[in-house]
Structure formats: structure tokens, C-alpha cells
Amino acid sequence: MKKWEILLLLLALFMIASLFFFFPKASAMTEELPLFGRVIFVDAGHGGRDAGAIYGKLLEKDINLEISKVLEETLISKGAIVYMTRDEDEDLSSQWDEKKKRGDLYRRLLMYKKHNAELYLSIHLNSGESGGKGAEVLYHPINPKNKELGTILMKHFKNDLKTTRVLKKTDLYMYRNTTVPGVLIECGFLSNANERYLLQKEDYQKKISESITNAVIEFFQTESSSETS
């Protein structure tokens, strides 16, 4: 055997060995970080001048932000790149906006478009409906994937949070204008005593966040399997 033949043989052996070295790692990575590189936008509803639903001293905007922060962490722990509309108590309207609420929502839309988000999750709380309790998801049919995402989320909420509510449609400005798959998540009712208690607990906020994260993982998996088939 000539010298260069030995070198070539060694190189080939090295390449084969490196395949064994890297591929199990790649599959372990998709198992541990199933959201690796996915850009997800988490929108904590309301903020600043807009409190959302109110129960005594309890403001929807504050609990939305708490849940969104826990959700941000949970998604990141699965490999996602997460952007937030806000990470403190503020709204996005400008002093020049004639309609403050519309200005605020418009800037939320611009924000996730700017970050090229692949998914938009809007975090809110329900209130008011007499006897109302349980988490629910609302979607706009402008994109068929919104319903798919909503259906998967509701399936996880039924299992994990024991909600008896169903997937609903919404015609709100935000979701009508959402250009990537995105839904409105109502995590529970501020007007329900038991849920009001739970929604303020970190354990329950984690439970909701994990349920959402698992649903998001399933959504992307279903998406990529339908793309390859």
C-alpha cells in the first residue's frame, strides 16, 4: 500500500466514524430540544394603561405577564427563540395615537413581523361569564393552521388542565390580522374563585406553560410530517 492510499483509507475511516459520532447526537438534540431554532412570539395581553379584566386589586395584565414569563422560560428550555411583546408593565401605544388601544395592538403586530416569528401566542384571562371556568383557545379562520394549532392546544388543556370548554372563533382585530399561525389563549377565569387562586400560583402557571409548550411541539411535529409526506 502506498503512503497516500493509507492516508486516504484513514480519512475514509475517520469520516465514517464521525458519522456515528454526530448522528446520534443530532437525534438526541431533536429529542431534548424539539423546538430548536423555532422563533416564537409570546404576547402578554394588555399592560400599562390597559389593565384588561379586573377583580378587586387583581389585574389581568399582571397575571398575563407572569404566565408569559414562565412560558418564555419553558419554550426556551425546549430550544425555542422567544420574543416577548413586553416584559414589564407597559402598553405599546404612542402619545400620538388617536385610538390608544388600536395603536397598541398595531405595534404588537409589527413587532412579531419584525422578528420573523413562526408562531404567535397571545396570553389572556377570561372574566365575567356567569359560572365560567377553564382555559380555552380562540382562533381566526384567516389561516387554516390557526384552527390546527387551536385544536392541539385544546386537546392538551383538556388533558392537563381538565377544562371542559371548547375551541372558539374570534373576529378580534389582532387575530384577523395575524399573518403567521397564531391564537388567543384564555388561561382561565379571573371571575372564578378557584381559578383566580390557581392562576396566581407559580405551580399552576408552570402547568399551563408546559401544556402550551407540549402543544406547540406537537403542532410543529404535525406540520413537518405533513410537509414531508
Contact residues: Zn ion, CB under 5 A: 45, 52, 124
Does residue 62 sit in helix, strand or coil?
helix
* 52 versus 188: smaller Cβ distance to Zn ion: 52
Rounded distance between C-alpha atoms, residue 213 and residue 75, angstroms: 6
* 63 versus 215: smaller Cβ distance to Zn ion: 63
* 45 versus 134: smaller Cβ distance to Zn ion: 45
**Closest residue to bound Zn ion by CB:** 124
Residues 6+ apart with CB under 8 A from 120: 41, 43, 112, 178, 180, 181, 182, 183
* 45 versus 47: smaller Cβ distance to Zn ion: 45
Yes or no: say if 132 and 53 are a contact pair by the CB < 8 Å rule.
Answer: no
Residues 6+ apart with CB under 8 A from 205: 66, 67, 70, 199
* 68 versus 214: smaller Cβ distance to Zn ion: 68
Q: How far is the CB of 146 from Zn ion (least distance, A)?
A: 18
Q: How far is the CB of 152 from Zn ion (least distance, A)?
A: 22
Q: How far is the CB of 177 from Zn ion (least distance, A)?
A: 17
Rounded distance between C-alpha atoms, residue 25 and residue 31, angstroms: 10
Backbone angles phi, psi at 59, to 5 degrees: -115, 135
Per residue, what are the HEC states of 152-164? HHHHHHHHHHCCC
* 16 versus 99: smaller Cβ distance to Zn ion: 99
Q: How far is the CB of 60 from Zn ion (least distance, A)?
A: 5
Residues 6+ apart with CB under 8 A from 211: 153, 156, 157, 159, 160, 161
Residues 6+ apart with CB under 8 A from 130: none
